[in-house]
Amino acid sequence: MLIHVAQNGKKFELDCQASTSVDVVQKALATLMGVPPAEQMLICRDLRLEPSRTLGHYGLPAEDKHVFLFNRSSLVADAPIPEADLVDDVELELPGEPSRLEIGHPLDESPNPLLRALPSYERQFRYHYQKAQAIWRGSQQRYDLCRQLFAEMEVQAMAIQTARGNMDIYYSHMKQRYDEFTRSCQEQHRKHSDILGNFERDMERLRNTELHPVLKTESRSTLLDCLNDQGIRKWADDCATSHTHFEAKVGELRAQFTGLQRNVEDLKMTEPDVDLEHIEDQMDEHQAAVDEQASILQSLSKDLNTVKKLVEDCVSGQLTSSLRPLDAVAALDPMSEVHINNHLPTVEHCDARLSGLVQHMNKCKVAMTRCVHTQLQSVAALQRRIRDMRNQLVGYREAMQRQEEVFAELLLVRKVASSYRACLAEVVRRKAYAELYTRKAGQLAERMARDRDAEVARREEFMRQQGLLPREILEGMGLSGVPSQCEVNVPTFDSSLLDIDVADLQNLAQIGGVPEERPKSRLGGGSRQLSASMSGSGAMITSTMVGSQKAGAFEGGGDVSIMTGVERRETSVEGGVAGGGYDMEVENAWLRSEYAAAVAMLCTLEEEEEAGGEESAEPAPPRRREAAQRVSEALRRKDEHAQFLQESLARQKQQLEAYEQRIREVEAQLSEQHKKSHQALGEASGTAEGGSVVTAEKGGDMGGEDVTSLEKSNPSERVEEARPAGLDQTMVDATLGETRMLESGMGSVVRDMEEGGVSASQEGGGASGRVEEAGGKRTEPKDEADTARHKASGADVAHDVTLRRELHQLQEALSHRTAACVDAEGRVQALTAEVADLNTQLKRNADLLSECQVNCAHLENHLHEARETAQTNLVTAERRGKEYDSLRAKSVRMHGLLDRLNRCLAAPSDAFPEALSNLAASLSNGGLGRAEDEEVFVGSVRQLAEQVNQLVQQRGDLLARIQHAEDAKARLVKQVEVASEKLRSLAVKHERAVQIGKEKICFTSFNVHELAVFLPNGVGHYEAVNCNCPYYFLAEESVLLFRHHQPESAHKYIVGQIVHIDHNVTRPPSPESMAGGLIEGKNEGGGRGPRWNPFGLPLGTDYFVVTVAMVPDLTTSLQRVTSS
Architecture of the domain spanning 76-187+271-397: Up-down Bundle (1.20)
Q: What mean pLDDT comes out for the span 338-360?
A: 86
Cα distance between the two ends of the chain:
95
Contact 701, 523 (CB under 8 A): no
**How far apart are the C-alpha atoms of 1075 and 1099, rounded to whole Å?**
20
Phi, psi of 5 (to 5 degrees): -85, 125
H or E, element range at 371: helix 344-410
- DSSP of 140-177: HHHHHHHHHHHHHHHHHHHHHHHHHHHHHHHHHHHHHH
Q: What per-residue confidence (pLDDT) applies to 328?
A: 60
Give kind and range of the element (H or E) at residue 71: strand 67-71
CA-based nearest residue to 1066, from 1082, 1088, 1089: 1089
Position with higher pLDDT, 208 vs 725: 208
Q: Is the pLDDT of residue 569 over 70?
A: no
pLDDT the model gives residue 576: 40
Q: What is the mean pLDDT of residues 356-360?
A: 87
Distance of alpha carbon 249 from alpha carbon 185, whole angstroms: 12
How many angstroms separate the CA atoms of 90 and 142, rounded? 7
Phi-psi group of 478: left, alpha or beta (phi > 0 → left; psi -120 to 50 → alpha; rest → beta): left
pLDDT for the residue 674: 74
What is the residue extent of each domain of the chain? 76-187+271-397, 413-618, 650-869, 999-1123
* pLDDT (mean) for 253-275: 85
Mean pLDDT lowest for which of 299-308, 519-528, 1053-1062?
519-528
243 vs 193, 234, 613, CA distance in Å? 8, 14, 17
For residues 329 and 160, which has the higher predicted lDDT (pLDDT)?
Answer: 160
Q: What is the mean pLDDT of residues 632-648?
A: 75
pLDDT value of position 756: 45
Q: State the DSSP code for 211.
A: P
259-273, 550-564, 1048-1062: least confidently modelled range: 550-564
pLDDT (0 to 100) of residue 553: 36
> Which parts of 681-779 fold into alpha helices (H)?
686-712, 715-718, 729-754, 756-778
Considering the entire predicted model, what is its pTM? 0.45
Looking at per-residue pLDDT, the higher value among 550 and 953 belongs to: 953
Read off the pLDDT of each residue in 108-121 and give the average, rounded to a whole number: 65
How far is CA 755 from its chain centroid?
A: 90
Q: Are strands 1032-1034 and 1102-1109 parallel, antiparallel or unpaired?
A: parallel
Classify the phi-psi angles of 1006: left when phi > 0, otherwise alpha if psi is within -120 to 50, otherwise beta. Answer: beta
Provide the phi-psi class of 1086: left if phi over 0, else alpha when psi is between -120 and 50, else beta: left
Grouping H, G, I as helix, E, B as strand and the rest as coil, residue 112 is coil
Question: Is the separation of the CB atoms in 590 and 436 below 8 Å?
Answer: yes
Question: What average pLDDT score do residues 559-567 get?
Answer: 36
Burial of 1118 by CB count in 10 Å (0-12 exposed, 13-18 middle, 19+ buried)?
middle
Residue 719 confidence (pLDDT) above 80: no
**Choice among 257-266, 295-304, 695-704, 838-847 with the minimum mean pLDDT:** 695-704
| Residues 195, 409 contacting (CB under 8 angstroms) | no
Query: Residue 1119's Cα: distance from chain center in Å?
Result: 116
pLDDT score recorded for residue 222: 85
1106: enclosing H helix or E strand: strand 1102-1109
pLDDT in tens, 78-98: 777 777 677 667 677 777 676
| Residue 147 backbone phi and psi in degrees, to 5 | -60, -40
Q: What is the predicted pLDDT for the residue at 458?
A: 92
Q: What DSSP letter does each residue of 512-526 carry, written as one string?
A: SSPPTTPPPPTTHHH
Residue 361 confidence (pLDDT) above 80: yes
User: CB within 8 A of 308, min separation 6: which ones?
Assistant: 122, 953
Q: Rounded to 10 degrees, what is the CA torsion of 555, 561, 566, 568?
A: -140
Residue 682 has pLDDT above 80, yes or no: no
Residue 1044 has pLDDT above 80, yes or no: no
Q: Of 302-316, 550-564, 609-623, 1095-1109, which gets the smallest average pLDDT? A: 550-564
Rounded Cα gap, residues 330 and 286, in angstroms: 37
Q: What are phi and psi of 1103, to 5 degrees?
A: -140, 160
Q: For 413-417, 541-545, 705-709, 852-856, which range has the lowest pLDDT when averaged over its residues?
A: 541-545
Read off the pLDDT of residues 464-504 as tens digits, 9 standing for 90 and up. 888 888 888 888 888 888 899 888 888 888 888 888 877 77
pLDDT digits (tens, 9 = 90+) for 800-850: 677 777 777 787 878 877 888 788 888 888 878 878 888 888 888 777 777
Q: What pLDDT does 506 receive?
A: 66
Residues 880-935: pLDDT tens digits? 888 888 787 777 777 777 777 777 777 776 677 777 777 777 666 654 445 566 67
Q: What Rg, from alpha-carbon coordinates, does the chain have?
A: 69
User: Span 521-534, mean pLDDT?
Assistant: 36
Q: Rounded to 5 degrees, what angle do the CA atoms 436, 437, 439 make? A: 65
**465 burial level (CB within 10 Å; 0-12, 13-18, 19+):** exposed
Residue 469 DSSP symbol: S
Per-residue pLDDT band for 718 (boundaries 50, 70, 90) equals very low
Taken in order 214, 219, 222, 228, the sign of the CA dihedral is negative
Q: Enumerate the β-bridge partners of residue 996.
A: none
* Biggest distance spanned by C-alpha atoms of the chain: 241
| Ordered DSSP codes for 592-660 | HHHHHHHHHHHHHHHHHHHHH-SS-SSPPPHHHHHHHHHHHHHHHHHHHHHHHHHHHHHHHHHHHHHHH
Residue predicted with more confidence, 882 or 589: 882
Q: Which of 164-178, 249-263, 351-365, 579-593 has the lowest mean pLDDT?
A: 579-593
Buried b / exposed e over 264-296, threshold 16 CB at 10 Å, is: beebeeeebebeeeebeebbeebbebbbbbbeb
